[in-house]
Structure 1
Amino acid sequence: MLRYATLLILIVFAGMTAGYSQSKPTHALTGYVRQAGSNEPISGATIFVQETRAGTVTSKDGFFIIPLVDGRYSVRISHIGFVTEVLSFAVTKQLVVNIELGTDTKYLEEVVVQTEAPDKNIRKVELGVTQLSIKNIRRIPAFMGEVDVVRSLLLLPGVTSVGEGATGINVRGGSIDQNLVLMDDAPLFNTSHLLGFFSVFNPDIVRDLTLHRGGIAPSYGGRASSVLDIKIKEPETERWSAYGGIGIVSSRAGVEGPIIKNKLTMLAATRLSFNDFLFSIGPASLNGTRANFYDLTTKVKWQLSENHTISSTGYYGRDIFKLPSDSLSGVEINASSTQFDYQTLAGTIKWNYLINSRLNLSTTAVWSQYKTETSAPDSANQFRLVAEVMHKQIKSDLSIAVNEKHAVQVGISGIDYYIQPNKLTPGPFSNALPFALPTERAFELAAYAQDEWKVSESTSLLAGLRYSTLLNDGPATARTYGNDLPRLPGTTTTTTPYAAGTIYHSSGGLEPRLALRVNVGEGRSVKIGYNRIRQYIQLVSNTTAALPTSRWVLSDANIKPQIADQLSAGYFMNGKQNEYEASAEVYYKTLTNAIDYRDGANLQRNAAPETDVLQGKGQAYGLEMLVRKNKGAWTGWVSYTYSRTLLTITSPFPEAQVNNGQTYPANFDKPHTLNATATYRPSLRFSMSLNFTYSTGRPITQPYGRARLNNVVVPIYINRNQERIPDYHRLDFSMLFEQDPAKKRKVQQSWNFSVYNVYAHKNAYSVFYKFDPRQLTDAFKLSIFGTIFPSLTYNVRF
């Protein structure tokens, strides 16, 4: 079926390419730009044809295409941090070249936050897109010495979290489930280890990451706020190498190299954490605590020919977290010891086919599974509570280099969702009762097309359209509610069973995307953009920071898909040969069918989650400003974000309203955020980094008074999220000691010393009250990291 769909795409666009034929024979200069030695692709390298003054930049895989009239050309290939090459090519037929750029070891002008080229922030059409390289993420001060890919995003404008140690990130007023996180095209449903303290991405094998928070290309869909695209590096093709590191929290090891030189290569990297001994030397109340994780990432690349490449990426990660004594099961069972066990298994197989100088086809099969298990060993209350989310997908993307002014992309995608919400199995002597919530099944189908049109030297337009639809599949029981009663358990008017293979509900629509860039002077540009995105799967949790065991649900007739419409505009400027950058972006986003929850919602055991889920309207707006220094011994940036996220949940019934139908701030609404990062690198062997962050405290719901019922003091709550915890601020520091890269060694070593929370500020994660029969005592604040955390990490590479 996929083969016929691909053939149909080729037929449709054959006429388009024919319409741009020229009188002289035309072919194309096509190829890849890679780093000499490691063979890693160089993203954003500039390809400039001196005779025609035409140029382009390489894609994330180092790939480029330039249509040219037959002849001989001098081509300049350059990228910051690499030695520039000028090569001569005779273009008389389809020409595929492999270009290697050597590292300029004397180049000290590091880019701390690196976009795809020195002035790509000015020339690219999209706005709200930032790329970070792992080389520079390593220099950001890290908590407990663990280089964290996701935590580094919190230093960018428009990115926040609800608190230290919380799972996920909030981007431009969105919840954590509104971020599509991809590892080599595989979506991950939980990106954290140890309940949110660290991310699942091994820094040893991450090449770079790109965060799309504004202009989101039509090839992406399914999440309402952002796309975080993380790419695993290409394995070495020339020789085998091994690397690793030892830290306080985890140790790392990896190996990569050619199985068949320049043909078949692979890498495998793992992290292991065994932290139980840390709790045994702590307070007695922590004895018996378990907090461990491990993960394994693999990648295999097979270069069949210059035109055919097959690559496969795999990931497996598992966490075990256990408290010695608690009542956190959340299933109305008092257990003396609850254990959380959650794991992710994901993989992709990608075939890239360079059909000719104008057409490139990429087809990917994706499989991603997220599984959680909560258990207790007590014989009287023994149980296992299991939940699972499965994502199976196949997609195909076709890139068409029509001519120098038009670059077209089209694609199709099909996703098969399967969700087992919660299934409880009691032990043989347990008092717990078994239950299993009904499974959910659906298919998400999508197709898209986009054209990047270079209108003139100063103006470019990116126009795209995506269509997506969700088809709910049986077995299922569809519930219908009347309009004269609130949606509560017991108010169902009809229930209709559907067998497996029966499509009982569908929803979908068009998702237009548009971006315009206009140069308004040397090194300056103005951009505007608009995009609409539909989200069909959501994480439902009525806690501020979602636990790994929080429940995923699919949209249906009762829980409608969330629809985000975002309009953004920005001004970008570079100065002093791209040494300095400055930008300012404003955005306004509306959210249709925004989700919140009824007071006292019990989502974990609810077979009809729509009775606890409330939907209404949301709006988010803000201003993001960034000033950055890219070159010199001192590099860094300062960013400021003003952002608001407001919800309005109204209903004819008081039970289905929040704040009596009045607008209120979302849990992750933080109006002011300031980040400053500086790196001092006087030599290739030493660098020192500082970063400071400040943000407004998040909203909380506090009691307005108290009442006494049968000599029991009960707090009285009126409105939701009308107060805030104290403001957050923190300073971090790190030093990196490396060996001189200009000197070739068989063993390369480095040391990283970091200090998290230098002045030991006790930032509040939450605020709570203590009650007694006489009075409401003072408020207490809970701090997750209330002191200084020094750490030392040793890294080695063979």
Structure 2
Amino acid sequence: MRLFYFALVGSWLSVFGAAAQPKTDKSHHSLTGYVRDAATRQPIQGVTVFITENRQGVYTGRDGFFILPLPTGTYNVKFTHLGFRPQTHTITVNRTVLAEVYLEDDSKDLEEVTVTSESPDRNVKKVELGVSQMTIKTLRRIPALMGEVDVIRSLLLLPGVTTVGEGSPGINVRGGSTDQNLVLMDDAPIFNSSHLMGFFSVFNPDIVRDITLNRGGIAPSFGGRAASVLDIRVKEPSVEKITVNGGIGLVASRLGIEGPLFSKKVSFLVAGRASFNDFLFKLMPRSIRDTKANFFDITTKLKFQPNEQHTVTFTGYTSYDDFKLAADSLSTVEVNASSTIFQYRTTNGTLKWNYSINDRFNLATTAVFSQYRPETSAPDPANAFRLTSEIVQRQLKADLTLAATDDHQLQGGISLIDYYLQPNRIIPGSLSNVLSKNLPVERAYELAIYAQDEWKVNEVLSLLGGIRYSQLLNRGPATVPVYQEGAPRIPETTSSATTYSRGQIYHQAGGIEPRLALRLTVGDGQSIKAGYNRMRQYIHQITNTTAALPISRWKLSDSFTKPVIADQWSIGYFKNTDGNALEASAEVYYKSLKNAIDYKDGAELVLNPMPETELLQGKGRAYGLETQLRKNKGHLIGWVSYTYSRSLYTINGAFPDERVNNGKEYPANFDKPHTVNAMATLRPNNRTNVSFNFTYSTGRPVTQPYARASINGILVPIYVNRNQERIPDYHRLDFSVEFNQDPAKKRRYERSWVFSIYNVYARKNAYSVFFKLNSASLNDAYKLSVFGSAFPSLTYNFKF
């Protein structure tokens, strides 16, 4: 029909042109056509159509149509309009030419690096604060380690987000430990968000739609963690046509397919990613040539939408890691890891039914299954063993949304979680000297109910108020020890034990979690926001290492380990310039912690049937300032942020061995006061993107020997206070350049190349400082660097 319409118009133009000029002049023709938006296929009014050779031009009408009488010849025709990429086409006119031109939204493309997926002024107009959003297009612009786009690592460029070092799993948000972050992928919790022992995240960039990090005003619909909520949404499968996409990289290769199944009412997505890096280590120095580090993950999504009211989706995810250190890879730090193998697997499934009851009511019902199974093993026949653990979480929840009026948006919901936790189990080999041991399983229910109302009081003031009630119910079978009153909690002071039968509730804890946020508009493009929220955490990762390993033990709150309770207050100022080209923000927060968890000096946590004898709980506080300036438009875009943040603990028990740092306040392992991040993307043309990011942070705290003593010729370190020294400061520059095909030329097959360099100036940033007690040398402190050189990479991406 479109060709027929063009032919009809062309015929009328030809007839009109012939009637309007002398019959003897056959050298004049017409250039006609439509200019449309490439994304929406809608016509664009006011586009300048300019002929370079004779410097003539016209504007398109409301329907995007234009007409230009031209003599026979070849012309360079330029199409320009504010907010769209200019295009130049070479057109030969020897008859009436019909053209259809699609312009791409230049401003939208330039804003791909902004951390938002909604309106450009979201940061000013929304009530919520301490919330950052990223789209996958944002992530692809950030230089990545070995060319692998990484969700978790990219979050480290946001204010208030840090890590204890390169290769460490998880992130620290506003002074919280890594286990205090609730990581969700389509509502299913992820207990280990890293591949390769922390070097990469488990999220395939090809399936991610958007990412939301809630670190300030957390909605009542979220709970169970004390620091933040990272909500990752898998994209909806395409219902138009089958598409295949993927990439070939140095670290991992990806392949995915999506499209309609049977009809447009049913669509699917399957994406896989695999890494087989053994050959890379063969090229490395001899000390790590025998290292093995492989992983894979598979994500699926099935969508069924029989009508506009009902939508059913299923998201499935599974991943597996296999990591082995070389025989002498850690010999310089006196760690024997000659044959230890680390393996861990995640299996998740989410079934969601969304029922749009009418224009005002919407009901979403979700069933979630999540399983995490880490394992450590050693194949040496004399000492062969398998050390395993397991977390299984089953959840049912329902969320009801009501648009009561234009000024009130109500939401409420209920949730039931069933926890199954196997802390540790060691299985010896057939000829091993290791003894088997199986710690008791922990079982519990977590119940929650919540409600909230977003109230637009007037054009100046908006409120978001909510309340959440949660409760943990520990249930049997279980045997709970009884400790002597007035004595320290150690194995020797147990007086008896109480046994509970299967399903019997033996302990419960919980309470109310209020949430409140307000936004006050103080001028054009300016607002002040303030908020308060309380969070309760009932499941904890307990470890006495600086960076919690993927195999670290998890534990539920119970009679002895109380839930961590966080109260956070925050206030911020937000300002956008005209057109939202520049954004500026500054937030101040203060957070207090009750029952903050730490451990005794020399604690043994693995395979300990009584971990409460090694764990300590006390008070914590975190406070800081987060500032950010972001440029959204132009050929150079990006942001720069500065964060001042402190995280301090006070553990002061009734007995000397239940105190840390003699009961005085001390910095947490992840306390890093100063952090500066900068990200910039330059687009010299419509095919090339050049990106840089720079990061600087204060070195994290460490506990160093105060002195050393010689006992029978053996040197023994003497430690006094915890975390009173710091490793050297950290800073790094990364670079990447992306080469795309010409967007003006439409192809069925799309491709791009990405070249990146991680750690451009090859700084040897310290991960830790360790000591060799050598009496022959006074220089016994050594610095361990994970990435001590520049790492270039090349990735090829495709889609068809």
| TM-score (normalised: structure 1) | 0.86
Is this contact kept in 1: 2:536–2:563, CA < 8 A? Answer: yes
Is this contact kept in 2: 1:335–1:381, CA < 8 A? Answer: no
Provide the residue aligned with 1:634 in structure 2: 636
Is this contact kept in 1: 2:378–2:386, CA < 8 A? Answer: yes
**CA deviation map 1:547-575 (0-9, x unaligned):** 11100000001000000000000000000
Calculate the aligned-residue CA RMSD, in Å: 1.8
Provide the residue aligned with 1:283 in structure 2: 285
How many residues are aligned here? 701
Structure 1 residue identity aligned to 2:105: D
Structure 2 residue identity aligned to 1:585: E
Structure 1 residue identity aligned to 2:154: S
- In the alignment, structure 1 residue 730 sits paired with structure 2 residue 740: no
Q: Supply the distance in 2 between the matched residues of 1:183 and 1:551 (Cα, whole angstroms).
A: 22
Pair member with larger Rg: 2
- In the alignment, structure 1 residue 645 sits paired with structure 2 residue 655: no
Q: Supply the distance in 1 between the matched residues of 2:427 and 2:329 (Cα, whole angstroms).
A: 18
The structure-2 alpha-carbon separation of the partners of 1:284 and 1:395, relative to structure 1 and needing over 3 Å to count, comes to: same
Is this contact kept in 2: 1:105–1:742, CA < 8 A? Answer: no
Alignment partner for residue 393 of structure 1, among 389, 392, 395? 395
Provide the residue aligned with 2:447 in structure 1: 445
SS state at 1:204 partner: helix
Is this contact kept in 1: 2:325–2:337, CA < 8 A? Answer: no
- In the alignment, structure 1 residue 113 sits paired with structure 2 residue 114: yes
**CA deviation map 1:698-751 (0-9, x unaligned):** 000001111110011111110000000000000011101111334221110000
1:165 offset after TM fit, Å?
A: 0.7
- In the alignment, structure 1 residue 274 sits paired with structure 2 residue 239: no
1:326 offset after TM fit, Å?
A: 6.9
Provide the residue aligned with 1:236 in structure 2: 238
TM alignment of 1:467-482, pairs within 5 A: 467-482=469-484
Q: Supply the distance in 1 between the matched residues of 2:329 and 2:637 (Cα, whole angstroms).
A: 48
Structure 2 residue identity aligned to 1:186: A
Provide the residue aligned with 1:72 in structure 2: none
Structure 2 residue identity aligned to 1:136: T
Is this contact kept in 2: 1:532–1:563, CA < 8 A? Answer: yes
Provide the residue aligned with 2:760 in structure 1: 758
Q: Supply the distance in 1 between the matched residues of 2:605 and 2:421 (Cα, whole angstroms).
A: 15
Provide the residue aligned with 1:310 in structure 2: 312
The structure-2 alpha-carbon separation of the partners of 1:155 and 1:789, relative to structure 1 and needing over 3 Å to count, comes to: same
The structure-2 alpha-carbon separation of the partners of 1:640 and 1:708, relative to structure 1 and needing over 3 Å to count, comes to: same
SS state at 2:405 partner: coil
1:769 offset after TM fit, Å?
A: 1.4
Q: Supply the distance in 2 between the matched residues of 1:382 and 1:706 (Cα, whole angstroms).
A: 35
Structure 2 residue identity aligned to 1:732: D
TM alignment of 1:35-184, pairs within 5 A: 104=105, 108-115=109-116, 116-184=118-186
**CA deviation map 1:669-711 (0-9, x unaligned):** 0000000111111332111011110000000000111111001
Is this contact kept in 2: 1:570–1:585, CA < 8 A? Answer: yes
Provide the residue aligned with 2:585 in structure 1: 583
Q: Supply the distance in 2 between the matched residues of 1:278 and 1:327 (Cα, whole angstroms).
A: 15
Is this contact kept in 2: 1:771–1:777, CA < 8 A? Answer: no
Provide the residue aligned with 1:58 in structure 2: none
Provide the residue aligned with 1:325 in structure 2: 327
- In the alignment, structure 1 residue 610 sits paired with structure 2 residue 612: yes
Q: Supply the distance in 1 between the matched residues of 2:710 and 2:784 (Cα, whole angstroms).
A: 26
Structure 2 residue identity aligned to 1:369: Q
The structure-2 alpha-carbon separation of the partners of 1:254 and 1:179, relative to structure 1 and needing over 3 Å to count, comes to: same
Provide the residue aligned with 2:30 in structure 1: none
- In the alignment, structure 1 residue 406 sits paired with structure 2 residue 408: yes
SS state at 2:156 partner: helix
Is this contact kept in 2: 1:711–1:773, CA < 8 A? Answer: no
SS state at 1:277 partner: helix
SS state at 1:344 partner: strand
1:290 offset after TM fit, Å?
A: 1.1
Provide the residue aligned with 2:55 in structure 1: none
Structure 1 residues 189-198 or 254-263, which shifts more? 254-263
**CA deviation map 1:95-142 (0-9, x unaligned):** xxxxxx996368543241232211011100000001011101101000
Structure 1 residue identity aligned to 2:340: T
**CA deviation map 1:586-642 (0-9, x unaligned):** 000000000001111111110011111100000000000000000110101010000
Is this contact kept in 2: 1:514–1:529, CA < 8 A? Answer: yes
- In the alignment, structure 1 residue 719 sits paired with structure 2 residue 708: no
- In the alignment, structure 1 residue 360 sits paired with structure 2 residue 330: no
Provide the residue aligned with 2:431 in structure 1: 429
SS state at 1:138 partner: helix
1:164 offset after TM fit, Å?
A: 0.5
Provide the residue aligned with 1:544 in structure 2: 546
Is this contact kept in 2: 1:449–1:464, CA < 8 A? Answer: yes
Alignment partner for residue 419 of structure 1, among 418, 421, 430? 421
Alignment partner for residue 460 of structure 2, among 452, 458, 461? 458
- In the alignment, structure 1 residue 782 sits paired with structure 2 residue 794: no
Q: Supply the distance in 1 between the matched residues of 2:445 and 2:509 (Cα, whole angstroms).
A: 11
1:197 offset after TM fit, Å?
A: 0.2
Q: Supply the distance in 2 between the matched residues of 1:106 and 1:414 (Cα, whole angstroms).
A: 44
Provide the residue aligned with 2:215 in structure 1: 213
SS state at 1:151 partner: helix
Provide the residue aligned with 2:24 in structure 1: none
Structure 1, gaps ≥5 residues long: 1-33, 38-79, 83-100
- In the alignment, structure 1 residue 674 sits paired with structure 2 residue 680: no
Q: Supply the distance in 2 between the matched residues of 1:188 and 1:102 (Cα, whole angstroms).
A: 41
Q: Supply the distance in 1 between the matched residues of 2:648 and 2:165 (Cα, whole angstroms).
A: 19
Is this contact kept in 1: 2:773–2:780, CA < 8 A? Answer: no
Structure 2 residue identity aligned to 1:538: H
Is this contact kept in 1: 2:288–2:328, CA < 8 A? Answer: no
1:489 offset after TM fit, Å?
A: 1.5
The structure-2 alpha-carbon separation of the partners of 1:734 and 1:485, relative to structure 1 and needing over 3 Å to count, comes to: same
1:370 offset after TM fit, Å?
A: 0.2
Q: Supply the distance in 2 between the matched residues of 1:261 and 1:106 (Cα, whole angstroms).
A: 35
Provide the residue aligned with 1:745 in structure 2: 747
Is this contact kept in 1: 2:737–2:755, CA < 8 A? Answer: yes
SS state at 1:777 partner: coil
Is this contact kept in 2: 1:108–1:633, CA < 8 A? Answer: no
The structure-2 alpha-carbon separation of the partners of 1:256 and 1:279, relative to structure 1 and needing over 3 Å to count, comes to: same
The structure-2 alpha-carbon separation of the partners of 1:142 and 1:626, relative to structure 1 and needing over 3 Å to count, comes to: same
Structure 2 residue identity aligned to 1:114: V
Is this contact kept in 1: 2:522–2:528, CA < 8 A? Answer: yes
Structure 2 residue identity aligned to 1:104: D
| TM-score (normalised: structure 2) | 0.86
Percent same amino acid among aligned pairs? 64
Provide the residue aligned with 1:370 in structure 2: 372
Provide the residue aligned with 2:204 in structure 1: 202
